[in-house]
Structure 1
Amino acid sequence: MGRLGKFQAIVTWEQRKLENCITSSLGGGTPNTTILDYWKGTLPWIQSSDLTLDDLHSYRVNKYITEKAISKSAAKRVPAYSMAIVTRVGVGKVVIPKTDYSTSQDFVSLVGLKAEQNFLLYAVYRILRHLSDNTQGTSIKGITKKNLLESEVVLPANRQEQTMIGRLLSKLDNTIALHERKLELLKELKKAYLQQLFPKNGDKTPRLRFAGFTDNWVQRKLEDILTVSLKRNSDNLFTRKDVLSVSGEYGVVNQIMFQGRSFAGKNLENYHVLQQGGIVYTKSPLKNNPYGIIKANRGKTGIVSTLYAVYQVKDNSIPELINFYFEINSTVNNYLRPLVNKGAKNDMKVRDTDVLKGKIIWSEDLNEQTEIVNLLDRITSLIAVNEHKLDSFCELKQAYLQKLFV
Structure 2
Amino acid sequence: MSNKVPQIRFNGYSDAWEERKLIEVADYRNGKAHEKDISEDGYYIVVNSKFVSTNGLVKKYSDEMIAPLSKNEIAFVLSDVPNGRAIARTFLINEDNKYSLNQRIAGITPHADTNSYFLHSLMNRNHYFLRFDNGVSQTNLSKREVEKWVEFYPSYQEQQKIGSFFKQLDDTIALHQRKLDLLKEQKKGYLQKMLPKNGAKVPELRFAGFADAWEDRKLKDVTERVRSNDGRMDLPTLTMSASSGWLDQKDRFSGDISGKEKKNYTLLKKGELSYNHGNSKLAKYGVVFSLTNCEEALVPRVYHSFKALENTSADFIEYMFSTKLPDRELGKLVSSGARMDGLLNINYDDFMNIHISIPNYEEQILVSAFFRKLDETIALHQRKLELLKEQKKGFLQKMFV
TM-score interval, normalised by the smaller of the two chains? 0.7 to 0.9
Paired residues for 1:272-287 under 5 Å: 272-287=266-281
Residue number in structure 1 paired with 2:184: 187
Q: Aligned in 2, Cα 1:285/1:112: closer, same or farther, shift over 3 Å?
A: closer
Counterpart residue type for residue 51 of structure 2: L
Partners of 1:50 and 1:135 in 2: how far apart?
18
Residue number in structure 1 paired with 2:83: none
Secondary structure in 2 matching 1:230: coil
Preserved CA contact (<8 Å) 1:228 1:353: no
Secondary structure in 1 matching 2:135: coil
Secondary structure in 2 matching 1:266: helix
TM-score by length of 2: 0.85
Residue number in structure 1 paired with 2:120: 121
Shift of 1:181: 0.5
Cα RMSD for the two superposed structures: 3.1
Shift of 1:347: 4.8
Find 2:218's aligned residue among 213, 218, 221.
221
Paired residues for 1:198-237 under 5 Å: 198-233=195-230, 236=231
Counterpart residue type for residue 11 of structure 2: K
Partners of 1:313 and 1:384 in 2: how far apart?
25
Partners of 2:50 and 2:269 in 1: how far apart?
47
Find 1:355's aligned residue among 336, 344, 351.
351
Partners of 1:335 and 1:31 in 2: how far apart?
45
Secondary structure in 2 matching 1:396: helix
Residue number in structure 2 paired with 1:15: 19
Shift of 1:7: 3.6
Shift of 1:50: 6.3
TM-score by length of 1: 0.84
Shift of 1:61: 6.8
Partners of 2:264 and 2:96 in 1: how far apart?
65
Any idea what the Cα deviations from partners look like across 1:358-397, whole Å, max 9, x if unmatched?
Answer: 111111x222111111111111111000000000111111
Shift of 1:276: 1.4
Preserved CA contact (<8 Å) 2:49 2:77: no
Q: Aligned in 2, Cα 1:294/1:136: closer, same or farther, shift over 3 Å?
A: farther
Preserved CA contact (<8 Å) 2:34 2:46: no
Any idea what the Cα deviations from partners look like across 1:12-50, whole Å, max 9, x if unmatched?
Answer: 21110111112x3222222683899xx9998x4633156
Counterpart residue type for residue 228 of structure 2: K
Residue number in structure 2 paired with 1:289: 283
Residue number in structure 2 paired with 1:172: 169
1:321 aligns with 2:319: no
1:391 aligns with 2:386: yes
Partners of 1:88 and 1:46 in 2: how far apart?
16
1:245 aligns with 2:242: no
Q: Aligned in 2, Cα 1:35/1:270: closer, same or farther, shift over 3 Å?
A: closer
Preserved CA contact (<8 Å) 2:264 2:301: yes
Q: Aligned in 2, Cα 1:160/1:126: closer, same or farther, shift over 3 Å?
A: farther
Partners of 2:38 and 2:298 in 1: how far apart?
63
Any idea what the Cα deviations from partners look like across 1:88-133, whole Å, max 9, x if unmatched?
Answer: 2543232333325542221222235231121112121152x55337
Preserved CA contact (<8 Å) 1:343 1:349: yes
Preserved CA contact (<8 Å) 1:283 1:309: yes
Residue number in structure 2 paired with 1:308: 303
1:370 aligns with 2:369: no
Residue number in structure 2 paired with 1:85: 76
Q: Aligned in 2, Cα 1:130/1:286: closer, same or farther, shift over 3 Å?
A: farther
Secondary structure in 2 matching 1:331: coil
Residue number in structure 2 paired with 1:47: 47
Shift of 1:339: 3.2
Q: Aligned residues, how many?
A: 383
Any idea what the Cα deviations from partners look like across 1:169-188, whole Å, max 9, x if unmatched?
Answer: 00010011111100011001
1:25 aligns with 2:28: yes
Any idea what the Cα deviations from partners look like across 1:114-157, whole Å, max 9, x if unmatched?
Answer: 31121112121152x55337737344422111011101121113
Compare 102-111 and 76-85 and name the one that shifted more: 76-85
Q: Aligned in 2, Cα 1:2/1:223: closer, same or farther, shift over 3 Å?
A: same
Partners of 2:193 and 2:42 in 1: how far apart?
45
Partners of 1:360 and 1:58 in 2: how far apart?
36
Secondary structure in 1 matching 2:212: coil
Compare 178-187 and 26-35 and name the one that shifted more: 26-35
Secondary structure in 1 matching 2:239: strand
Q: Point out where structure 1 has 5 or more consecutive residues left out of the alignment.
A: 67-74
Preserved CA contact (<8 Å) 2:19 2:151: yes
Secondary structure in 2 matching 1:324: helix
Counterpart residue type for residue 87 of structure 1: L
Counterpart residue type for residue 374 of structure 2: I
Partners of 1:14 and 1:170 in 2: how far apart?
23
Any idea what the Cα deviations from partners look like across 1:169-209, whole Å, max 9, x if unmatched?
Answer: 00010011111100011001111111111111222111111
Counterpart residue type for residue 105 of structure 1: Q
Q: Point out where structure 2 has 5 or more consecutive residues left out of the alignment.
A: 1-5, 81-85
Partners of 1:324 and 1:112 in 2: how far apart?
51
Preserved CA contact (<8 Å) 2:75 2:108: yes
Identity rate, percent: 26
